[in-house]
Structure 1
Amino acid sequence: MPDEPGVDGDLAMHWLVFNVLGFQAVWWACVIGAGKGWPWAGPVAAVLYAAAHLQFSPTRRRDVRLLASALVVGLVLDGSLGASGLLTYAAAGEVRHIAPPWILALWAGFALTLTHSMAALATRPWAAAALGVLGGPLAYASAASVAGAVRFDNGMVEGLVAIAIGWGVAIPLLYGIDKHLAKNEREAIA
């Protein structure tokens, strides 16, 4: 919304605040919910946030594409982390090689920040990778220590290194997918 022509500056700032706070609410609902044995809390928060976000988003089509892409990336990355034995997710059940719904809810909420509050990273792949390398492990370590939503089974260092690599690739990959899909859409219209 901030880049939209004719959008009031105050409205743009409110949109960014909503975007950041909405994702934070999803993160806390997912992590605390999973840690407390309420694995439904995060997905419910993510659905409510996504519905509100998409209702008002000036880039709804793009946001939906990124959300779908992030769910696939999340399934692969977090499924791999679980299957490898590096991580155990709270409320994952018996199926370790599939990311639990609350983790996918986190990916959905995160995807909705990519073209809004984190839009500056879209043209800065090294900054996006750096955010992944630093922010990914920090988020998982916080989820482990604050709520017990994640457990590092083969040592925290090994798990955090794998997360850093995965997220360091995932964020630039999502921006690359977004750019590719947008280009294909423009070409289809032309």
Structure 2
Amino acid sequence: MSAQPSIRRILVNLVAFQLGWLACVLGGAHQLPWLGVGVVVLVAALHLATSPERGSEARLLVLIALMGALWDGLLARFGFLVYPSGMLLPWLAPVWIIAIWVAFATTLNVSLAWLQGRWYLAFTIGALGAPLAYYAGAKLGGVHFPDPVVALAVLGGGWSFLMPASLALAARLARTATAHDTTERLVTEEGTDA
């Protein structure tokens, strides 16, 4: 993996994620689903502009967005969650939820990088933290739980896997990018030595 991010970058990443999350939830709650998407586009652009490994980070954002689109889409499709706006297809998460997943992906190698390799902690944070985030979203009007106990249990169970899986994917993509950069540098050095 690349060098650890600076404290400044971690703080900017945390604040950007929180702003993106809040814009998405409030936009979704007030029939303005594209508002949060616009904010997250800015969050992702800032993230990629400050990332030392833009290519692998861009791939990570896309893969996590796809995972989230399917996961939250399934939860909505099976009636665990009801979203007030932004559903384009019945089996796909609302656009603003997909944007939250993109914002989440920006944290995996920055403000959540400390969790990589700490799988039990990632499991626990996923199992407890995600239901709390969805619950907060419900209190703001971004989601409704027909059966809150079941919905929160399903969310906790799913996120106990999704959090470690997301971190593992982020670490793998970062390692691949670092290995590629090292190989490219060695080839360049050999070419100049000849």
TM-score range, shorter chain: 0.7 to 0.9
SS of residue in 2 equivalent to 1:88: coil
Contact 2:48 2:54 in 1 (8 A): yes
How many residue pairs match? The answer is: 181
Distance across 1 between alignment mates of 2:124 and 2:13: 21
- Indicate the residue corresponding to 1:136 in structure 2: 130
Runs of 4+ in 1 over 6 A off after TM superposition: none
2-side partners of 1:44 and 1:85: how far apart?
Answer: 27
- Counterpart for residue 150 of structure 1: 143
2:29 to 28, 32, 35: 35
Aligned to 2:191: none
Q: 1:181 to 1:47 in 2, by over 3 A?
A: same
Query: Which of 60, 65, 78 is matched with 1:66 structurally?
Result: 60
SS for the counterpart of 1:71 is helix
Q: Which runs of 5+ in 1 are unaligned?
A: none
- Report the aligned-residue RMSD: 2.1
TM superposition shift of 1:189: 7.3
Q: Percent identity?
A: 35
Query: 2:28–2:96: 8 Å Cα contact kept in structure 1?
Result: yes
Matched, 1:171 2:134: no
Distance 1:50 1:178 in 2: 15
Structure 1 counterpart of 2:153, one-letter code: V
Greater gyration radius: 2
Residues 84 and 15 from structure 1, CA distance in 2 versus in 1: closer, same or farther, beyond 3 angstroms?
same
Q: Is the 8 A contact 2:88 2:94 kept in 1?
A: no
Instruction: Name the TM-score, length of structure 1 as normaliser.
Output: 0.87
Moved more, 50-59 or 176-185: 176-185
